Each structure stands twice: as C-alpha cells, then as structure tokens.
Chains A and B, each alone.
Chain A
Amino acid sequence: MNDSTLALALALALALAHTPAHAKAGDLELSLTSEALALVSGTVSATTDDSIAFTPGLRIGWSPVDDLTLLLGWRDITALSRADRGYTLDTSGDALVVGARYSLGLDPVVDLHFEVDLEALHTDFDLAIAGTTATTSAWGFGVVPKLVASAKADVDLFDIDFRLFVGFAARTNHHADGLRLSLEAPASQVSPLDLGSLNLSGVVFGANLAVIF
C-alpha cells in the first residue's frame, strides 16, 4: 500500500469513526464548474451537430479530514440540439451529484487531486416535427472519475482554488420512449414514439472555481 492510498484509507476511517464537533475554517467550499462533454457514443448523432455538450455545475464540499473533500451538487447538461433535418430535438438533463476528492498534498499552492462523482441524471427529450411537439424524460446513472490540477490563492477571509480537470463520464443509457406528438384532433389516440436508447458517456474537461472558507 503506498502513501497516498494509506492516507486516503486513514482519512476515510477517521471520517467514519470520528464525528468532528464542528467544521473548522477551511473545511467548507462552494464551487462553480464549467465543463465540456465530448460525447463518444454513436447514439448521439441525432441529438447534436458537433458531439459537444456543455455541462456546468454547482457544488458544496466539506472536508472532514485533511486531503479529503466530500461533495454534493448539481450538474446541468445543455447544448444538445439538432434542428436541420425536418425535426428539432432538444436534449437536456439535470443531475444530482455526490462525490469525493482526494488531494495528494504536493504543495500548499499547487496540487493534484483524484476526484470521482456519482450522479443520478434526469434527461428531458423535446421533439418538434412540423409544428407538433412531444416531450419525455428518462433517468440514468453515471460515474465520473477525474484528474484535477489546482492552484490556490490565499485571500484574507478565505481561499480561492482554481482547478482544471479531465476525466471520463461513464453513464447508463437513457431510453426515450413514450413520446406523443400533439395533434389538432383531440379525439384521436396517438401511438407513442420510441426514439431508442441514448448514451451520454464521454470525455469531460473544464475548469472549476472554488471558494474555501
């Protein structure tokens, strides 16, 4: 077992075995993430022109022990739209994210981290064809391991941490069935449309700005 693994195990053991009386200054963080997602599944060709989605997020973190931060937040998936082939399909999603980040502690200012997010992703599909529309949604789940590089600035009352990261989002399929296009005739029964399964896995990269207090 190497030093970093040992430190992570100790931190987890401490976090589980010992309940801290309070969070001391510097244990909490609020971060804003700007993230790009380069999709890798062939299922996305009908949803986007360029296979790139924008996935910003907002998270809070708490560091129960040194070098380990637990994260809770939200991630949005936007900029998935295709509208030039007789139909318009907008795909968007919101994810509840829980995660953990382990810091290697290389330097007080510059550091490297391993981070992993677990997410529950709720995706909406909005389809419009020739003036008629249909909407459906589906749940999916994912795990997003990342490698993070950070630089810290010490301000009077808090620290500011700027991070760059790259990772891979491995996600389960979202099944988009049950779309019912609206019609003028209300008496008609409309059979639902099944678009199939969409996979939003892909390479993630971006920046994160955190305020630690």
Chain B
Amino acid sequence: MRPSRFTFILTAILGLHGCALSEPPDFRTASALGPLAIGDHLVLGDADANALVILDLADGALVATRRVPLAGAPSLIVAAPNASTALVLSREDRTLAIVATDSSDSIGAGDPRSVALGAPFEGLVLSPDGDIAIAYYPPGTANAVFHNENEIAVVDLAPAAPTPVTRRTLASLGGAPLQIKISPRVGDRRFAFVLSEEHVAVMALDDPAMAERSVPLVSLTTGGNRTPTGVVFATDTATLWAIVSTEEANSVYALAVVPTAISEADGADFDVRLSQLAGVSPGGAATLVALGPTAARALYTLTTSPAAGTLTLTDIATATGKTLTVQAGVDRLLLFDGEAGAPMALTWSSHNGYTFHVVDLDRMAAGANKAFESRTARDAFSTLIPIPATSRFIALHASEDEGVSVIDATSSRVTGFGRTGHVVALQLSQELDRLFLLTRLGFDDFLVSVDLASLHPEVARVPDGADALAVLPGVTTVSAVSYREGGRVTLWPAFATADDTTRVVSGFLLDRLFNR
C-alpha cells in the first residue's frame, strides 16, 4: 500500500450543548438580606439562590452553615420575638414563609409553613408578641398594574389559627399606607394603626374582617391635612391611646380607641376619638408615658415645643399639665429608666449638639423643684442613646475620627475611646453588658467592644471591612457582615474581641454551591 497523507481534525466539537446546565445563582451579595441575630443563629437571605442561609455559631466560631431552600426569592426577613423563627417575605413568590431556625428543611410551594399572601407585598410588620403579622405595600412598591396599594394581608401566626390569612383593602381616602404599627393589647383586644397620607386607619386585629375606622388628620385650628410620621401607644384600662406625630409637626394628635356598641352600618364595635395636642410647635416631639404608683398609674403626654423651648407633661384624663422651660430648640425626646427605675426623659436640640437635659418625670408631674438638670458635653453630638438602668448615654458624634463617646448625666463626665473613626453600626447588649461598635477610619473598619462597667474599649480590625453588625448574646458571639461578593462574616468571642481571636467565614453564600 502506498503511503497516504491524512489531515486530521483533532477536536470534534459537535455542538452538544446544555445537557446539565441551568442558570447559576447571582452571588452579588448586595441582594442578600440580613444579617439577623435570631437565637443562636445568624440568619441571612440569599435572594439569588431562593434560600435562607443560617450560620450556627458558638463563642465566636462557626459551627455549621445551613441552607433552607425556599419556594421563591426572599425579599424581607423579620425575626420573630420567640428567638427561634424567621419570617421570610417573598415578593416574587407572594408568600410568607415561617422558618424555624433550628431546622434545615426546605419550604417549597404548598408547604403548610408557606402562607400564600396573594399579592407581592414588600413590607411586613409584626406584633410585639409575634402572633400577628401584616403584609403591605410600603410607599412606591405597588408599581404594577392591578397592585392596589391599599391592600393588606393580616396573617394570624398563632399555631391554632383556622384561617391564617385575611386579605383586606382599606378605604384609600386619597392616600396609601406609609407605615403600619400594631398596638399592645388593651384587655383582650389589639389594633393595627395604618398611617396613610392624611389619615389613620384603625383595624381590630381580633376580627380582621371587621370594618376599619379611618380618621382624617385635619388641623383642628388652622385646617389643612397632615401626613403622619409615627405613632406611640399606651393603654389605660379599657382605652388604647395613640399619639400620632405628623410632618407638619405643630400637629400632634391623640387618638383614643374606645369600645362601643356594634354599629348597624358596618358592624364595627369600636370608635376612635381624635384630639389635637396643645403645646407643640413646629419640629417638636411627642410621646406617651405612664406615671404614678402602680395601683394608680395615670397616662400623660409629653411634648416639646422648640419655639418656646418648653417641655409639657399633660394628664390625659384631666387635660391638666405642667410645663418646664428648658432650652430653645428642644426637638428630641427619649424616655428611659433611671438608676432606681424612675421614669426619666432626655431632651435636647438637634441644632445644639452640646447641651442635653435630663428630666425626672415623677418630680415634674408633682410640680417639684429641680425636675430637670442641664448638662453640657465636651464635643458636639448628633444623637444620644440611653444605656438602660444607668444615668449614662452613648453619644454619637458627627466626626470622622472620634465618632462615639459615653456621657454620664450625673457628672457630665465624657469618656471617649480615642480615634475610633465614625460609627457604621452600633449594638448595645444588656445581657453581655457591652457596647459593640463597627467603625470606619479611612479605608479600614474596626470592631470596638466597650465594657459598660469599666468603659474600657477593645479594638479589633475587621479584615477587608464590613457593612453590618450583629450580636448573639446566647452564644457570646459578635459578627460583622460584609455584603461583598460571596458574603463574608467576621466573628469574635464577645468577651475577647481582638485581632488574634478574629475568625472569618468567607464566601459563605457559596456554601454547597454544586449541590443546589
């Protein structure tokens, strides 16, 4: 046979595509949700992988990484008060998943732990006891055809609830919900306050199908509508009181929810009485406080008037009040328990970040002298946060170098922590008696742990930075979470936050990537 020449094609690419390929998840962690410290777990959402990521931690170390597959992409995670459940809202799937953080079982469509809401809600509010959740459209999220921004879904999370979801469409009165708050119980009832543009709708949650009462917020003195910004509650035997602040801050309203005979018109068995509070000038703050001996507590409104520089305490039952002239411009108000458990208030002007005033409310109600003391900080602060059961406050400063200090109201002593940088996140742990700060100085992030007894700070560098901070007292662990690609959690034992105790869990959103 004569020799032959051959030309060979070495690779035969025949276009055999796609035997196994599915679109991989997008791991840009900007879409991850959380972190939430729930019990002994750190919970984050992985919206691209339709999963919840649960990190089991112990004393600053990672014990296990678990994933709970969900039927749809999570869009909001809320921690239930029982410290063992995460409520996961999915706009895409139109469901609310109830996830036990101790379990890794997947929650798919049709699972009894996945509650169909029927609409792509993006907001979720939970009652303080965790028995009721309300899903709603926050402003700007009902942006598609057939999305009714006044629609809500009330979910009964009590274990024996026969019909867990009640879908309602509230009367719009020309507005849409801005926020929803659930009141504490008054007797065996509680109510949801839907703050909408120019009105407040009040719903009885023991009968979610009952007609709501809508209260237009109109200035009783000058006319014109008001936009609510927040509500605080207090109870008084059979009456629920709510103080509603508005953007037009000279209008602060007291709403009293009282039981009535069942209305023949709509079947509602409660009414809402509206009154406008006096003594509040534009920019003022308002809250509710109960004072007096336990057997005879009385409910008061506490308001500030920046224009007059006054603080007014008004007995709701008698409409009589006491006024203190404090300082012009006071527009910030905080309640806290003093060292002996006495009800105290802290007020200051956001325009004068040096002076603050500590008010003994029992003395003020009694008309006693020296009901308040004025103190001056060394450095200007942007806000004050009370440390419970102490006379000390955390002061946050608008400084790139020294962003935080602790002020003792009894001595005006200011304790700084050196060049910590500005504060990115803050967690105050009463259980651990520590203050944890995530600070940024230049391009570096730090964890600052402050022992509240000695005010001694420990500083540890956060490798490659972080965006959020979570504290888990049950497992004495502090975590700083970065939303960079793949996700990164930095962990420390809560009582030993140093560089050499730093542990990093990097790329945890990629965990078990091949097997999803």
Contacts and interface: CB of A to CB of B under 8 A. Distances in A.
A85 interface: yes
B13 A52 contact: yes
A155 B27 CA distance: 57
Given A40-B19, A87-B510, A196-B512, A188 B3 contact: no
A58 interface: no
Contacts of B295: none
Contacts of A183: 463-464, 504, 506
B123 to A, nearest CB: 28
A51 B23 contact: no
| Size range of the chain A interface in the assembly | 35 or more
Contacts of A181: 486, 506-507
A75 to B, nearest CB: 14
Contact of B485 (A39, A129, A207): A129
Given A39-B19, A129-B486, A209 B500 contact: no
A213 interface: no
B504 A188 contact: yes
Contact of A40 (B3, B20, B510, B515): B20
Interface centre among B18, B21, B26, B490 (most CB of A within 10 A): B21
B463 A195 contact: no
Contacts of B19: 38-40, 51, 202-203
Contacts of B1: 153-154
Q: Tell me the dominant secondary structure on chain B's binding face.
A: loop
B463 A191 contact: no
Contacts of B29: 86
Interface in B1-15: 1, 3-4, 6, 8-14
Given A36-B13, A153-B6, A203-B19, A195 B512 contact: yes
Given A130-B485, A195-B513, A196-B513, A44 B12 contact: no
A196 B17 contact: no
Contact of B24 (A39, A45, A160): A45
Interface centre among B18, B464, B499 (most CB of A within 10 A): B464
A160 B6 contact: yes
15 contacts: A38-B19, A41-B20, A42-B22, A43-B514, A46-B513, A47-B514, A86-B29, A162-B8, A193-B506, A194-B511, A195-B511, A196-B511, A205-B14, A207-B9, A209-B10
Contacts of A162: 6, 8
Contacts of B21: 44-45, 48-51
Contacts of A39: 19-20
Contacts of A164: 12
Interface of B: 1, 3-4, 6, 8-14, 16-29, 61-62, 65, 461, 463-464, 484-486, 490, 499-500, 502-508, 510-515
Given A87-B27, A130-B485, A36 B512 contact: no
A85 B28 contact: yes
Nearest to A185: B463
Given A36-B13, A38-B19, A82 B511 contact: no
Contacts of B23: 45
A85 B514 contact: no
A8 to B, nearest CB: 28
Interface centre among B24, B484, B485, B506 (most CB of A within 10 A): B506
Interface in A43-66: 43-52, 54
A6 interface: no
A198 interface: yes
Contacts of B24: 45-46, 82, 85
Contacts of A49: 21
A32 interface: yes
Interface in A8-43: 32, 34, 36, 38-43
A110 to B, nearest CB: 13
Nearest to A51: B21
Interface centre among A39, A44, A87, A155 (most CB of B within 10 A): A87
Contacts of A40: 19-20
Interface in A169-213: 176, 179-181, 183-185, 187-191, 193-198, 202-203, 205-207, 209
A130 B503 CA distance: 19
Nearest to B482: A130
Contacts of A193: 506-508, 510-511
A129 B507 contact: yes
A127 interface: yes
Given A34-B11, A195-B514, 16 more contacts: A34-B12, A36-B16, A38-B16, A51-B17, A51-B20, A85-B26, A87-B486, A129-B486, A129-B506, A130-B484, A134-B507, A183-B464, A185-B502, A189-B502, A191-B504, A207-B9
Contacts of A196: 511-515
A107 interface: no
A41 to B, nearest CB: 5
Contacts of B503: 188-191
A5 interface: no
Contacts of A3: none
Interface string A118-161: 00000000010110101000000000000000000111100010
B44 to A, nearest CB: 15
Contacts of B8: 162, 207, 209
Given A42-B22, A183-B464, A203 B16 contact: yes
Nearest to B15: A52
A27 B21 CA distance: 43
B65 to A, nearest CB: 8
Contact of A197 (B484, B508, B515): B515
A145 to B, nearest CB: 18
Nearest to B507: A193
Interface centre among B3, B504, B510 (most CB of A within 10 A): B510
Contact of A44 (B17, B20, B65, B485): B20
Interface centre among B9, B13, B486 (most CB of A within 10 A): B486
A179 B28 CA distance: 19
A164 to B, nearest CB: 7
A13 B485 CA distance: 60
A130 B486 contact: yes
B514 A198 contact: yes
The 6 closest A-B pairs by CB, nearest first: A86-B485, A34-B10, A196-B514, A196-B515, A185-B463, A181-B506
